[in-house]
């Protein structure tokens, strides 16, 4: 089957969750389908991106998002009621190009990822499949309480716009998918139960246990320019770690991931190492004793937890993050509801090797049995090709 796939970003390198999801879906779908990829782009193109993606795609189209167009389209959103991030990724020149590509290719299916690109294909009379992935409205709502007061009106407006848009998008597409059941329940549409749940997976051949010296007691990974990760890193360093350092002063924490913000960089010290871009994240997982992801805002399934568990790291996270993961508390994962609980989990794992080993083993089995990319994407292929 011939599939036209439209993405808001080039799905390489894999430093963001939406890119990782798109890349693995492309790789899987290409085994039995002809893939034509169209990706929007607002930054420089990685020199290895096209070569890597050509392995899976019959054709690749990269459409630029000029800065002046992004600004003007965000401005127009004040009047047309669309979410600002939809305006950021939309312009009429790219719409014409996409219409031309689709007319030329004549695909059997159109597959889109995220609200940001839905506007481009909403009027296409071809069977369309849409991936909500996360519930953007809920993610923005959770940020309202943590953002500076002068940004609150913007986020409140965006929250309301996203609620309306998530509802509209549902009716534009023939089939819809989302990353987890809890996320599906947050979609503001009366027929949301018709949305298929397609979680992320983990490449267990790539992310697997590695024996290496443990240089860090704790590890937190992710795109360190992404607000939910910035928020989590601050919560970890400022609220949780002082309680740990009271008992064990020499504990070291590694914050690993691309694009560290000024807030993250400012927390670097002899006890808090901020790595920046990492060529191979497996090295960070292998050098850590415990993985912690105290997510306070954001939505969706955390790839970082899947990767850490696949590498047999004992994991601690928040109820919010485990809501999508659905690991068994105190068996496959530990949950913190307060800085004090997080700190106690860390101290317990630090002092109890038997408990640490068992938690890591059970977490590993949970991920391997439930989050395999091949199994996940087999269901996606059935939905697209039905």
Query: Do 154 and 220 share a structural domain?
Result: no
> Residues near 257 by Cβ (< 8 Å), separated by ≥ 6?
15, 221, 222, 223, 224, 229, 275, 276, 277, 278
Q: H-helix or E-strand containing 136?
A: helix 136-144
Query: Do 344 and 328 share a structural domain?
Result: yes
Q: From residue 352, give the alpha-carbon distance in Å to each of 347, 349, 357.
A: 9, 5, 9
Which band of pLDDT confidence, cut at 50, 70 and 90, is reported for residue 375?
confident
Residue 209 lies in a domain: no
Rounded to 10°, the helix 303-310/17-29 angle is: 70
Which band of pLDDT confidence, cut at 50, 70 and 90, is reported for residue 16?
confident
Query: Do 193 and 73 share a structural domain?
Result: yes
Tell me the two tokens of residue 343.
């700190």
Query: Do 23 and 129 share a structural domain?
Result: yes
Query: Do 381 and 330 share a structural domain?
Result: no
Query: Do 96 and 225 share a structural domain?
Result: no
Residue 190 lies in a domain: yes
Strand, coil or helix: 93: helix
CA angle 300, 306, 310 (to 5 degrees): 175
State the pLDDT at residue 298.
78
Residue 320 lies in a domain: yes
Beta strand extents in the chain (DSSP E only)? 2-7, 34-41, 59-64, 109-113, 128-133, 175-178, 196-197, 216-221, 253-256, 272-276, 288-293, 315-317, 334-335
Residue 299, pLDDT > 80, answer no
Query: Do 226 and 132 share a structural domain?
Result: no
Strand, coil or helix: 7: strand
pLDDT of 126-185, one tens digit each? 999 999 999 999 999 999 988 899 999 999 999 999 999 999 999 999 999 999 999 999
State the pLDDT at residue 50.
97
Q: Looking up tokens 């949970």, which residue turns up?
A: 366
In this prediction, residues 105-134 reach a mean pLDDT of: 97
Query: Do 348 and 315 share a structural domain?
Result: yes
Counting residues of the chain whose pLDDT is more than 70, the rounded percentage is 100
Residue 195, pLDDT > 90, answer yes
Residue 304 lies in a domain: yes
Query: Do 263 and 180 share a structural domain?
Result: no
Query: Do 128 and 83 share a structural domain?
Result: yes
State the pLDDT at residue 377.
93
Q: Residue 220 region, left (φ>0) first, then alpha (ψ -120 to 50), else beta?
A: beta
Strand, coil or helix: 298: coil
Residue 210 lies in a domain: no
The values of phi and psi at residue 250, to 5°, are -95, 10
Q: Alpha-carbon distance 46 to 107, whole Å?
A: 27
Residue 211 lies in a domain: no
pLDDT of 86-103, one tens digit each? 999 999 999 999 999 999
Q: Alpha-carbon distance 334 to 322, whole Å?
A: 9
Q: Alpha-carbon distance 232 to 267, whole Å?
A: 12
Q: DSSP letter at 151?
A: G
Strand partners, 37: 5, 60
Query: Do 36 and 158 share a structural domain?
Result: yes
Query: Do 104 and 222 share a structural domain?
Result: no
User: How far is C-alpha 49 from the chain's CA centre?
Assistant: 19
Residue 206 lies in a domain: no
Query: What CATH number did the domain enclosing 313 receive?
Result: 3.40.50.2000
Range of the domain at 174: 2-201+373-385
Count of the separate structural domains present in the chain: 2
């Amino acid at each position: 089957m011939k599939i036209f796939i439209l993405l808001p970003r080039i799905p390489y390198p894999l430093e963001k969750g939406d890119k990782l999801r798109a890349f693995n879906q492309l790789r899987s779908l290409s085994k039995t389908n002809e893939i034509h990829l169209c990706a929007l782009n607002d930054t420089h193109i990685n020199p290895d991106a096209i070569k890597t993606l050509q392995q899976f795609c019959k054709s690749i189209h990269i459409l630029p998002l000029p800065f002046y167009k992004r600004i003007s389209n965000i401005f127009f959103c004040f009047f047309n009621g669309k979410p600002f991030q939809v305006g950021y990724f939309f312009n009429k020149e790219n719409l014409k190009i996409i219409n031309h590509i689709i007319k030329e290719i004549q695909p059997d299916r159109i597959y889109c990822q995220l609200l940001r690109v839905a506007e481009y294909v909403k009027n296409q009379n071809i069977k369309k499949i849409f991936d909500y992935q996360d519930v953007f409205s809920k993610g923005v709502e959770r940020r309202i309480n943590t953002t500076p007061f002068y940004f609150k009106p913007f986020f409140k407006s965006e929250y309301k716009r996203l609620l309306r848009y998530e509802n509209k998008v549902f009716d534009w597409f023939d089939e819809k998918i989302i990353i987890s059941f809890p996320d599906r329940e947050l979609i503001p549409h009366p027929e949301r139960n018709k949305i298929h749940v397609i979680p992320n997976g983990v490449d267990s051949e790539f992310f697997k246990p590695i024996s290496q010296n443990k240089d860090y007691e704790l590890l937190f990974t992710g795109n360190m320019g992404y607000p939910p990760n910035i928020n989590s890193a601050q919560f970890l360093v400022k609220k949780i770690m002082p309680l740990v350092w009271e008992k064990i002063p020499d504990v070291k924490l590694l914050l690993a991931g691309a694009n560290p913000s000024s807030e993250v960089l400012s927390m670097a010290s002899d006890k808090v190492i901020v790595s920046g871009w990492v060529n191979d994240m497996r090295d960070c997982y292998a050098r850590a004793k415990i993985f912690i992801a105290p997510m306070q805002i954001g939505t969706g399934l955390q790839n970082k937890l899947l990767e850490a568990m696949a590498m047999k790291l004992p994991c601690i996270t928040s109820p919010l993050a485990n809501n999508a993961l659905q690991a068994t508390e105190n068996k496959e994962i530990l949950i913190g509801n307060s800085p004090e609980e997080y700190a106690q989990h860390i101290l317990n794992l630090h002092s109890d090797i038997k408990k640490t080993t068992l938690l890591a083993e059970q977490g590993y089995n949970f991920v391997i049995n439930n989050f395999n990319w091949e199994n996940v994407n087999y269901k996606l292929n059935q939905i697209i090709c039905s």
